[in-house]
Amino acid sequence: MLFIFGQNEASKKVIIIDPGHGGNDSGAIGANGVLEKDVVLNIASEIIRLNRTLFEDSFDIYLTRYKDTLISLGDRTNLAKTLKADAFLSLHCNASNVISKGMEVYVHHSDKPLPKTSVWLGLFVLNESTEKLGFKKRGVKFANFQVLREVIDFCPTILIETGFVTNLDEADYFL
């Protein structure tokens, strides 16, 4: 089947999914007690499952962590460089002391070509996700987070805030 489309195993796109936090770093704690580190690891595992079942392993997807362990930010970014990733997606959940809801995506601001591709990737992920989940769309924003800053020279890179664990409706969705 791969030969029909002129593809082979070597042409698979390499995607790094970075479930944020882990180990003794729980990240945000949700209104219902859900932990950010668990939510994003579950989302990353679901992405792998969907790649296998819906997309017939069309992508080579690697996680920066596969269980509840803390991986340094440097090691997370080094994985993308070592595997020559085609895209890097860091998954997080938002938190706020005031009532907030919705998803947002962050990209690194730079004049180089890859940040522009990152913006397009961020817009696509944000539009598709909010449409399917019914979450409010908070937009694509710029930030200087370490994982964005250190990977952007190698591949399109985005950091996704999947929703607010401090918002009871969104936190319940993550259970």
Q: What are the pLDDT digits (tens) for 129-167?
A: 999 999 999 999 999 999 999 999 999 999 999 999 999
As a whole number of angstroms, the distance between CA 12 and CA 103 comes to 28
Question: Which residue has better confidence, 130 or 1?
Answer: 130
Strand 103-107 with 157-164, pairing: antiparallel
Element housing 124 (H / E): helix 113-133
Q: What is the pLDDT of residue 8?
A: 52
Q: Is the dihedral of CA 36, 38, 44, 50 positive or negative?
A: negative
pLDDT above 60: residue 3:
no
As a whole number of angstroms, the distance between CA 26 and CA 123 comes to 27
Confidence of residue 4 (pLDDT cuts 50, 70, 90): very low
Q: What is the pLDDT of residue 33?
A: 95
The torsion angles phi and psi of 131, rounded to 5 degrees, stand at -65, -45
Please tell me the pTM assigned to this model: 0.92
Q: What are the pLDDT digits (tens) for 70-85?
A: 999 999 999 999 999 9
b/e burial code for range 99-110 (CB count within 10 A of at least 16 → b): eebbbbbbbbeb
Nearest alpha carbon to residue 159 among 36, 67, 70: 36
Q: What is the pLDDT of residue 134?
A: 93
Looking at the annotation, which residues are catalytic? Answer: 161
Structural domains in the chain plus CATH codes:
15-173 (3.40.630.40)
pLDDT above 50: residue 96:
yes
As a whole number of angstroms, the distance between CA 7 and CA 23 comes to 39
Confidence of residue 2 (pLDDT cuts 50, 70, 90): very low
DSSP letter, residue 10: G
Q: What residue has token string 């890097």?
A: 88
Q: What are the pLDDT digits (tens) for 6-52?
A: 445 567 999 999 999 999 999 999 999 999 999 999 999 999 999 99
The encoded tokens of residue 114 equal: 């890859």
Q: How far is CA 158 from the centre of its chain?
A: 7
